[in-house]
């Protein structure tokens, strides 16, 4: 389609420029405000993204329109790597959350680490075997509900499957009704269950990938 003709999708493999970081930071703060990373200070978000870029298990992609980033996505081979690969900044994350009085976020981290948050999930549905986890996805406000999110999602998972990691399923966790509808109605995900969070549970979704 013509509206997608001037778009460019790039996997970020080297350190972000100041401009790129600011554009992604804006998306994190504005469009992913339910995510843990959005609760961190600017310096820690920079470290977080640097680890993601250098990791062999985490993949950062950006969607560019001309010279500007209008979307980004963060994938991982397994959600376990979100704990393992960010292990070295765990104390800085905890300190930052405590000093900024993010106590509900700290409780949510405890629920995730102890796996108490998974008691509402269907145990028969294996969410780890041959799965790619979509951890974060954001599109700039003015480009939402216009097909850009689906286009970006489709292209990035195809690139990962072809060039990086062979997976059979894709999983994600949606925090809002709008994001749940995006995955269920526009991308054919299936409902798996809920992960417990303080104030707002996460909807866990899964999709079979057909090459």
Helices and strands (H and E) in the chain: how many: 8, 7
pLDDT digits (tens, 9 = 90+) for 131-157: 999 999 999 999 999 999 999 999 999
| Phi, psi dihedrals of residue 43, rounded to the nearest 5° | -65, -40
Q: Which domains does the chain have, with CATH numbers?
A: 2-119+136-166 (3.40.630.30)
- For the chain, the average pLDDT equals 92
Average confidence (pLDDT) over 91-110: 93
pTM of the model: 0.92
Contact present, 135 and 75 (Cβ < 8 Å)? yes
Q: How confident is the model at residue 48 (pLDDT cuts 50, 70, 90)?
A: very high
Long-range residue pairs from 17-24, CB within 8 A, at least 24 positions apart, any chain = 20/62, 20/69, 21/46, 21/49, 23/68, 23/69, 24/49, 24/62, 24/69, 24/72
Cα(78)–Cα(171) distance, integer angstroms: 9
Indicate if the pLDDT at residue 1 is higher than 80. no
Cα(205)–Cα(196) distance, integer angstroms: 14
Cα(68)–Cα(19) distance, integer angstroms: 9
């Amino acid at each position: 389609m013509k509206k997608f003709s001037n778009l460019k999708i790039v996997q970020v493999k080297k350190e972000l420029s100041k401009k790129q970081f600011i554009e992604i930071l804006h998306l994190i703060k504005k469009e992913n405000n339910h995510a843990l990373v959005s609760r961190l200070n600017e310096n820690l978000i920079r470290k977080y993204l640097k680890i993601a870029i250098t990791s062999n298990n985490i993949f950062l992609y950006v969607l560019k329109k001309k010279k500007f980033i209008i979307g980004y996505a963060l994938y991982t081979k397994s959600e376990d790597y979100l704990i393992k690969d960010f292990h070295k900044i765990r104390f800085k994350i905890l300190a930052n959350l405590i000093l900024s009085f993010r106590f509900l976020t700290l409780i949510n981290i405890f629920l995730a680490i102890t796996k108490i948050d998974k008691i509402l999930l269907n145990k028969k549905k294996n969410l780890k075997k041959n799965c790619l986890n979509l951890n974060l996805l954001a599109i700039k406000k003015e480009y939402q509900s216009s097909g850009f999110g689906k286009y970006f999602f489709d292209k990035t998972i195809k690139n990962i499957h072809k060039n990086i990691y062979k997976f059979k399923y894709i999983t994600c966790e949606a925090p809002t009704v709008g994001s749940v509808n995006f995955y269920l109605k526009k991308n054919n995900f299936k409902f798996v269950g809920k992960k417990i969070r303080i104030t707002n549970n996460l909807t866990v979704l899964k999709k079979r990938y057909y090459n």
